């Protein structure tokens, strides 16, 4: 059956079928390598924003919500951040620990930037 899988329990190396599991209840990450390549080719959001800070390292695609948070993540919900702003210690320096904190300090709406990047990508297409 499409959209279902058997739930299996392992007992002493043997498998026992417990029943069917509805896979539609699980969110599967949306992968889009072409979009990630497009995002990584952009300038760091902080370097372009109204509150500029020194950037360092290559641009990385930051997922929003971050992949470190369990649950739904989508490659089309990413923004470009340099390595320093993506995973550097700047967050502790500014007291940023959340999306709201980042947006407040740098005066950037991540949701608006995600929408802008998706619109631009859909209009121009992949880089390759």
Judge whether residue 5 has pLDDT over 80: no
Supply the pTM of this predicted model.
0.70
Judge whether residue 15 has pLDDT over 50: no
Between the alpha carbon of residue 28 and those of residues 3, 67, 75, the distances in Å are 12, 12, 11
- Among residues 17, 90, 29, 104, the alpha carbon closest in space to that of 57 is found at 90
Q: Where are the domains of the chain?
A: 33-124
Between the alpha carbon of residue 8 and those of residues 1, 12, 24, the distances in Å are 16, 13, 18
Question: Which pLDDT tens digit goes with each residue over 51-98?
Answer: 878 888 899 999 887 666 666 678 999 999 998 888 765 555 455 677
110 or 21: which carries more pLDDT confidence?
A: 110
Q: What is the pLDDT of residue 95?
A: 55
């Amino acid at each position: 059956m499409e959209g279902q899988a058997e739930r299996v329990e392992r007992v002493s190396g043997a498998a026992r079928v417990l029943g069917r599991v509805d896979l539609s209840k699980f969110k599967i990450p949306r992968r889009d390598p072409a979009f990630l390549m497009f995002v990584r080719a952009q300038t760091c959001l902080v370097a372009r924003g109204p509150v500029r800070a020194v950037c360092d390292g290559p641009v990385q695609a930051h997922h929003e919500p971050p992949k470190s948070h369990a649950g739904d993540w989508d490659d089309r919900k990413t923004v470009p951040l340099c390595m320093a702003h993506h995973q550097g210690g700047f967050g502790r320096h500014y007291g940023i620990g959340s999306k709201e904190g980042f947006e407040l300090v740098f005066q950037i709406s991540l949701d608006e930037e995600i929408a802008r990047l998706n619109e631009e990508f859909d209009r121009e297409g992949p880089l390759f």
